Structure 1
Amino acid sequence: MAKRIHQITIHLEAGNASIPELGKMLGPIGVPTIGVKRRYDEATAGNRGETIPAVITVAEDRTWVMRLKTPTTTSLIRAIVGSGSARPGHIDGGVLSVDQLRQIAVRKLPDLNTTDIDIAMRTIAGTARSMGIRVE
């Protein structure tokens, strides 16, 4: 691959990437959106309903490489608890058990900047608190 000129992170629905959204992000740099959509949809088809981030690195000769990441922390928490609080800090948005917190931390561990599960759990708990979700 030639010298990297762009690195774009996309957050789209797994297995069903939106062509207009991809076109907005990739069109100005000359990346073929259909090729990206096909590869993204194939790679994420097993996780339909989740939002899977992907980092697309584009070289000066317009070749590109895609690397998938784990789903966003907030989407994993919402899948377990629900939507969270409309007013975090004022209204309770639900409860997340320690076992559920550990489950999310294990799944997010490859994308976090730690290898310690306890530190990863504290990071996930902070995100949950900012969503108005209590951890017990």
Structure 2
Amino acid sequence: MAKKVQAYVKLQVAAGMANPSPPVGPALGQQGVNIMEFCKAFNAKTDSIEKGLPIPVVITVYSDRSFTFVTKTPPAAVLLKKAAGIKSGSGKPNKDKVGKVTSAQVREIAETKAADMTGSDVEAMIRSIEGTARSMGLVVED
């Protein structure tokens, strides 16, 4: 018989840096999950990813207080900021441009995000990433 799902917890946790402090501790503590067990498992799974990169994670908590989790790829905005070498996007993206990314960088980001995106093909995903870049005040160059 399948375990009964008690809750789904969605968080963004820095790769390799999960610890019991907020946001992880309070979110999992409410559900009665062993926080240190999650932190160790998450840090082990994100070991190969650059430390500090925010990783979305969906934790499924079962009624017997056990859990499973699925990690996603980092948000497109974070990858674009890293590619452009900027700290944050523009407050007025249509007027103030804060950086540039090449179409090769956009393609690389789209291929990285392919597992999590719903686009039918790579070109659709590239257009989606380009739209994110424009909304952040980045210029996409050929």
How high is the TM-score relative to the length of structure 1? 0.93
1:135 lines up with 2:140 in the alignment: yes
Separation in structure 1 between the aligned mates of residue 9 and residue 132 of structure 2, nearest angstrom: 24
Separation in structure 2 between the aligned mates of residue 90 and residue 18 of structure 1, nearest angstrom: 40
Instruction: Tell me if structure 2 keeps the 8 A contact 1:7–1:56.
Output: yes
C-alpha RMSD of the superposition: 1.3
The letter for the 1-side match of 2:109 is: I
1:91 lines up with 2:93 in the alignment: no
Deviations 1:45-66 (A, max 9, x none): 2211311111100111111101
Q: Quote how far apart the aligned CAs of 1:114 are.
A: 2.2
Please identify runs of 4+ aligned residues in structure 1 that moved more than 3 A: none
Match of 1:12 in 2: 13
Separation in structure 2 between the aligned mates of residue 3 and residue 40 of structure 1, nearest angstrom: 22
Q: How many pairs were matched up?
A: 136
Separation in structure 2 between the aligned mates of residue 24 and residue 129 of structure 1, nearest angstrom: 35
Match of 1:124 in 2: 129
Instruction: Tell me if structure 2 keeps the 8 A contact 1:109–1:115.
Output: no
Instruction: Tell me if structure 1 keeps the 8 A contact 2:19–2:36.
Output: no
1:33-72 correspondence runs (5 A): 33-47=35-49, 48-72=51-75
The letter for the 2-side match of 1:75 is: V
C-alpha spacing 1:91/1:18, structure 2 compared with 1 (3 Å): farther
Match of 1:106 in 2: 111
Separation in structure 2 between the aligned mates of residue 7 and residue 96 of structure 1, nearest angstrom: 36
Instruction: Tell me if structure 2 keeps the 8 A contact 1:96–1:133.
Output: yes
How high is the TM-score relative to the length of structure 2? 0.90
Q: For structure 1, list consecutive stretches of 5 or more residues without a partner in the other structure.
A: none
Which one of the candidate residues 29, 32, 36 is aligned to 1:30? 32
Q: For structure 2, list consecutive stretches of 5 or more residues without a partner in the other structure.
A: none
Instruction: Tell me if structure 2 keeps the 8 A contact 1:101–1:124.
Output: yes
Identical aligned residues as a percent: 33
Separation in structure 1 between the aligned mates of residue 90 and residue 99 of structure 2, nearest angstrom: 8
The letter for the 1-side match of 2:83 is: I
The letter for the 2-side match of 1:42 is: A
Separation in structure 2 between the aligned mates of residue 19 and residue 74 of structure 1, nearest angstrom: 26
Q: Quote how far apart the aligned CAs of 1:106 are.
A: 0.1
Q: Quote how far apart the aligned CAs of 1:17 are.
A: 1.2
